Amino acid sequence: MRTASGPVLLVLGDSLAFHGPTRAEPADEPRLWPNVAAAALGGRAEIVAGIGWTARHAWRALISDPRIWPVLPTVDALVLGVGGVDTLPSPLPTALRELIPVLRPAGLRRAVRHGYQRAQPGLARAFSLLPGGGPVALPPAQTIDYLDRCRTAVLTIRPDVPVVGLVPPPHRAAAYGRVHPGRAAGERAVRAWAGEHGVALLDLPALVGDHVLGGHGNPDGMHWGWAGHAAVGAACADLVRPALRT
């Protein structure tokens, strides 16, 4: 189904969907990759994303955020732009780490947050030496489970729309000790899932690997410059376009 303004891309993403070379940007910033993709297709992107979102956060948003529900009947493509955060080192279990913002009193919250931020790089490097590379934000099996829940839910309403996922991107972030031992396992899992269900994949290591690892993106070593957004947006449009023509 097309709206009068062209195809609608529903993008469930993490901060890569809205963070530019220096800061987080409003969702209508035209240089963000979801908007680049939508513009190339003559339509618009509905970006539902958050900082640090894993596939589990995307699923929770899909089933609990009423702002998404009016969009679903008009969706022309589903882009699952999550899964990269899932592969990042997480020395503290994710469930506990996500409780830090609600600690009280405020002094305790600040002390715990700053302490964890100081400890995380060293802990990530230490855990990376263990068999399997240590704990990650979300294990690959759970990532795939939540990605497929999102895919199945949207296809129940819009059974013919194309689905696009992503191969977890690289990083050089000091905050994570510049290590990423969980990425390879995450990539294997998402490629197997995509092959089984006919999901097209944005190959982020190929698209932005040199950009990020060469220091051409955000100084944080994770987010992209506008050249990276442009490359990913163009590639996303190329994946979606044949299905829209069909």
Lookup result for tokens 């199945």: 152
Tell me the domain boundaries of the chain. 8-88+137-245, 91-135
pLDDT at residue 245 in the model: 76
The pTM score is: 0.94
Q: Distance between CA 202 and CA 194 in Å, rounded?
A: 11
Position 4 scores a pLDDT of 52
pLDDT band at 27 (very low <50, low <70, confident <90, very high): very high
Residue 92: the pLDDT is 87
Domain 8-88+137-245 class?
A: alpha beta
> For every residue of 24-79, which 3-state class applies, written as one string?
ECCCCCCCCHHHHHHHHCCCEEEEEECCCCCHHHHHHHHHHCCCCCCCHHHCCEEE
Residue 152: Cβ within 10 Å count: 11
pLDDT in tens, 212-239: 999 999 999 999 999 999 999 999 999 9
Please give the average per-residue pLDDT across 8-13, as a whole number. 98
Task: Look at 32-36, 91-95, 124-128 and tell me which has the smallest mean pLDDT.
Answer: 91-95
- The reported pLDDT for the residue numbered 94 is 83
Q: What mean pLDDT comes out for the span 110-133?
A: 94
The phi-psi region of residue 54 (left if phi > 0; otherwise alpha if psi is between -120 and 50; otherwise beta) is beta
Strand ranges of the sheet holding 77-81, from the earlier edge strand across to the other edge: 44-49, 8-13, 77-81, 163-167, 200-203
Which H, E and C letters describe 117-163, residue by residue? HHHHHHHHHHHHCCHHHCCECCCHHHHHHHHHHHHHHHHHHCCCCCE
* Tokens found for residue 122: 């060293």
Using DSSP's 3-state secondary structure scheme, residue 187 falls into helix
Number of H helices, E strands in the chain: 8, 5
Q: Is-contact 32 26, C-beta < 8 A?
A: no
Q: Span 24-34, mean pLDDT? A: 98
Neighbours of 73 (CB within 10 A): 10
Instruction: Return mean pLDDT, the chain.
Output: 95
The strand pair at 44-49 and 8-13 is best described as parallel
